[in-house]
Amino acid sequence: MNKLTAGILLGVGIAGVAAAYMPVKVGDTVQQQVELAVASVNMKQKSAGIEINVLDYQKNAYSSSLITRFTFTDNALEKADGTAPYFDIKHDIAHGFSSAKFTSEVVVTEEMKESLKELDGKVPLHFDGLISASKSVVNTYIEGFTLTPDSGTIKVYPGIIRLNYDVEKSAYDINGIWNGAELDASGNQFTVGEASIKGTGHQLSDYIWSYSNDINISALDLNSDKIVLSSSSLNLKDKFDIQVNADTPDTIHYSGTWSLNKLHIEQYGRTLYDFQPSGFSYTLTGPTVEQTEALMQVAEKMTPEQMSQEDAKRILPVLADVVNAAEFSLHDVNVVTEEGRINGDLKVNLETSQQELIKAMSFPPILANYVQLESNASISKSLFDSMPVFNMMANQLNKMGAYKEDDEDMLIHTRMTQGQLIINDVPVQ
């Protein structure tokens, strides 16, 4: 858009004429970008079950308005009359000299009004922001409302999320806070407490973005006539980037951490477990950037529901290369209860050729022959009474001659190679 603006200034020659012309050209550019973005999203989200269409595009010299319709294409969601459910978002755009401001909101239909309560004239979901040649800012507002479908009641509390996108750097950051929601369906109650999200990312190639997310949820509770789950202070972090190596091809690196302060589980009014601060971490590494991009490129061109034999011939070798190169590890496992704790780690990968793995994909039991696994676990013996499964495990290991312990813990070292599982140096028959 900067080059376009410069061209207008040179061609027209005087600021007065340029001032009248530039917003019109910005409007043309905005329309082109909207149509390109919608076409791109529809192409990349073929299997997502949603199709986007642009309706009623009205463009004037200094403003535009349009409606984007989101149609659910999944046959399972089809209405009784054979039509597909959808919702519309209305957009009003003001053209500036080098940018465009917009406000958008969900179109509330009469059908929605029948189930949406406590709106007080407010629209349940609306947006505003700015788009220019160098940046985009999108603010998303969730208003408090109650949804009452036939199956129950959903109460949604307010929230706001801001997305900043730097066009020149192909980078974004996102920050938001949401006051949560409550679901009451047939006596089952589910509550999400206040949640916050922070994230950053930037584009590394046509197919790969690096990103880092940090999500905090103050509480997550489920209450039914059979089971009660109550947790607090959940923290979910994940990060995707590329490891640059001097001697080997650059590889992808995905890592994450889950933690919580409390988890209470009871069944039929009887407490089963009370977990104290606990968590674990994981990583997925190995596939090269070239392998990962090749898989994304092939997958983008096909719809899984309609995968033909030719599609399978194209994607299976690429998928096999990625899976073969991948190594998954689970580490820093720390599960704590009042009675004891569980610590451990695990590392798993495959060792096979591309052709062997393709054959194994059609008959999964063969995969066991190629799994390379190693894990360590220490389990407090004080848990044997509160978690009977560990007492049963100890008895089985004792019968095999594979039971090991120290003063406080049962110790389990597990290996698997060439289809043979070995526990504490004793092969499992």
Question: Any idea what DSSP says for residue 424?
Answer: T
Q: How many structural domains compose the chain?
A: 1
* Residue where the block lists tokens 């000299």: 97
Q: Are 185 and 200 in contact (CB under 8 A)?
A: no
> Rounded to an integer, what distance in angstroms lies between the CA atom of residue 290 and that of residue 205?
11
Q: Judging by beta carbons within 10 Å of its beta carbon (0-12, 13-18, 19+), is residue 304 exposed, middle or buried?
A: exposed
Q: Judging by beta carbons within 10 Å of its beta carbon (0-12, 13-18, 19+), is residue 369 exposed, middle or buried?
A: middle
Which residues are CB-neighbours of 93 under 8 A, at least 6 positions away? 27, 30, 63, 64, 65, 66, 100, 101, 102
Q: Are 231 and 220 in contact (CB under 8 A)?
A: yes
Q: Which domain holds residue 1?
A: 1-107
- Number of residues written out for the chain: 429
Q: Is residue 192 included in any domain, yes or no?
A: no
> Rounded to an integer, what distance in angstroms lies between the CA atom of residue 221 and that of residue 95?
46
Between 148 and 390, name the one with better pLDDT. Answer: 390
Q: Return the percentage of the chain with pLDDT > 70, whole number.
A: 89
> Rounded to an integer, what distance in angstroms lies between the CA atom of residue 277 and that of residue 261?
4
Cα–Cα distance list, 60 to 22, 89, 130, 349 (Å) = 13, 19, 18, 59
Q: What is the pTM of this model?
A: 0.81
Q: Is residue 49 included in any domain, yes or no?
A: yes
Confidence grade of residue 8 (pLDDT, cut at 50, 70, 90):
very low
Identify the pLDDT of residue 36: 78
> Rounded to an integer, what distance in angstroms lies between the CA atom of residue 218 and that of residue 197?
12
Between 321 and 307, name the one with better pLDDT. Answer: 321
- In the predicted structure, residue 216 carries a pLDDT above the cut 90: yes
Confidence grade of residue 11 (pLDDT, cut at 50, 70, 90):
very low
Confidence grade of residue 21 (pLDDT, cut at 50, 70, 90):
very low
Q: Is residue 16 included in any domain, yes or no?
A: yes
Q: Is residue 161 included in any domain, yes or no?
A: no
Between 135 and 149, name the one with better pLDDT. Answer: 135
- In the predicted structure, residue 16 carries a pLDDT above the cut 70: no
Q: What is the pLDDT of residues 380-421, one digit of tens each?
A: 999 998 889 999 999 999 999 999 999 899 999 999 998 899
Phi/psi of residue 73, each to 5°?
-95, 0
Mean pLDDT score of the chain, rounded to an integer? 85
Identify the pLDDT of residue 197: 95
Confidence grade of residue 113 (pLDDT, cut at 50, 70, 90):
confident
* Residue where the block lists tokens 């999320």: 161
Confidence grade of residue 14 (pLDDT, cut at 50, 70, 90):
very low
The secondary element (H helix, E strand) that includes residue 380 is strand 371-380
Section 241-257 average pLDDT: 90
Section 171-193 average pLDDT: 92
Which residues are CB-neighbours of 340 under 8 A, at least 6 positions away? 379, 380, 381, 382, 383, 386
Q: Is residue 45 included in any domain, yes or no?
A: yes
Q: Are 145 and 118 in contact (CB under 8 A)?
A: yes
Section 96-121 average pLDDT: 78
Q: What is the pLDDT of residues 262-282, one digit of tens each?
A: 999 998 888 888 999 999 999
Which among 117-121, 162-166, 301-305, 340-344 has the top mean pLDDT? Answer: 340-344
Q: Is residue 7 included in any domain, yes or no?
A: yes
> Rounded to an integer, what distance in angstroms lies between the CA atom of residue 229 and that of residue 223?
6
DSSP per residue, 295-314: HHHHHHT--GGG--HHHHHH
> Rounded to an integer, what distance in angstroms lies between the CA atom of residue 163 and that of residue 198?
10
Identify the pLDDT of residue 334: 96
Q: Is residue 41 included in any domain, yes or no?
A: yes
Identify the pLDDT of residue 10: 29
- In the predicted structure, residue 46 carries a pLDDT above the cut 70: no
DSSP per residue, 260-276: ESEEEEEETTEEEEEEE
Q: Among 76-85, 228-237, 247-256, 326-335, whose mean pLDDT is lowest?
A: 76-85
Q: What is the pLDDT of residues 330-367, one digit of tens each?
A: 999 999 998 999 999 999 999 889 888 888 887 878 88
Q: Is residue 89 included in any domain, yes or no?
A: yes
